[in-house]
Structure 1
Amino acid sequence: MLQISSYRDATQEQEAPKASSWRAACSAGSRGDAERVYDDIFDAVMDRRLLPGAKLTETTLCKVFDCSRSTVRAALSALAHDKIVDIEPNRGAFVWQPDAKETRDIFEMRRRMECMIVDMLLALPDLATRLQPLYDMVRRERQAFERGDRISWIRLSNAFHVVMAQLLDNHVLTEIMHSLCARTTLIIALHDTPGETACSYIEHETILDHLAQGDGNGARQAMHHHLADCEERMSTPSTQPPDPWRAFPVKR
């Protein structure tokens, strides 16, 4: 029987907080068993340890998380609401697998939202000072990539865009960006070839440099190029079925 512990690495979490930490920061109140199951599945998806199309069976999840079926169903229902999981009648739950139109729609929204964020940031006083935590994040992103720490690199690459929105102290905007970045991660996991092109930290730094200089046109163009490059490098989706249980450390 599979036994599983939550994915934990203190050093890695310090360097690159899990994606669920941004979700928790946007929500209020205590977090129960369903939320914890949600977070572990969500993090596995965001870290690309759990791939699009992977089937999530309730019986196995109950064993993995040592919880009731009602807890698993609540977590899967919440993941389906957030477009991380698809629940298909008479077939079960699967990690969301975006189609071509959804991919186009999400990247269009990313371009519009993030250019708006650029404009809003440029209206802030002392912007260059406020951007220092993002420069530090880009530095850690580059270090993670150079040492081959793929999960930390993915986490920091996604967090960069959420933290940009967070600087505006607008919780609704931060929630929207968190959702869009999560769905973008699934799109990239479906289409991208890991390690082929991984210079997002260079593009992130370019965006920050334009913002620090008050160059709105340059920042918007850099952001547009960054997202367009991400969309254009998608390749043919893998035909190999994903193995959902490699998402977690298994004790035998």
Structure 2
Amino acid sequence: MSTPHDPAPPPDPAVPRPGDGLRLAFGTLSVLPVRVPYVDRAVAGRAMSAAPLVGLVLAGVAAGVLAVASYAGTGPLVAAVLALGALALLTRGLHLDGLADVADGLGSGKPAEGALRIMKASDIGPFGVLSLLFVLLAQAAALTQAGARHGADGAAAALVVAVVCGRVAIGLGCVRHVPAARPGGLGAMVAGTLRPATVAVFVVLLAGAASGLGAAAELGPVRPPVAVAAGLLAATALLWHTVRRFGGITGDVLGALAETATTTVLVVLSTA
């Protein structure tokens, strides 16, 4: 029998612990060095459920960089570039890398097996370079325009809505009946782990929060939910196309979904 002075036994690394999903979400989707000793599909599913929360934290930091740069007098363009650069650093460029790989795979015109092999290669091809240039320029230009039209607060609100929407879009690729393209990797671990109803709740909550944030930041209560809908529709179209071409999702596809939704939201919110 143990006494009050006996040390507690160490946790079994083969048993999931409360919070493993959240830790895995931050460890996978951000630069934070979080270690999770045990990961299975249940933990991975909870991690994907926590992706919007990770996005909210990252967006808050990036919006803070944007606000500081704006109030320091850098101008909307430099402030936008600094905020997007901070976001890329906070994510280790993970989603941008996924976007480039998916563009190379789709642009190759090869069957699924050959396209997946191209995506897994460590180098980046011309389609990947072009997609990164287009997306980063579009994001910077849209965020700059939002700052010019709606001020620093409006631009910060647009960035928060866009980044969180990008992480909600990741959940679209993890709903049931969406297969994995290959047996290993992140895609195989998270494919089919989320119920459609769970993602639907995230969408409704995001739309409501975006409306309130837009009203407070003079973006208006209507345009942010419309931008969210447009971003998720664009991500859904890409998801459908990649599943048709590759046979399912990969981790790269999830990153591409995030960047597609984020860019679309920023472009919609940059309009007058």
TM-score normalised to the size of structure 2? Answer: 0.30
- The structure where strand makes up a greater share of residues is 1
Write 1 or 2 for the structure with the bigger share of helix. Answer: 2
User: Which structure carries more relative contact order (alpha carbon 8 Å, separation 6+)?
Assistant: 1
| TM-score of the pair, normalised by structure 1 | 0.32
The structure with more radius of gyration = 2
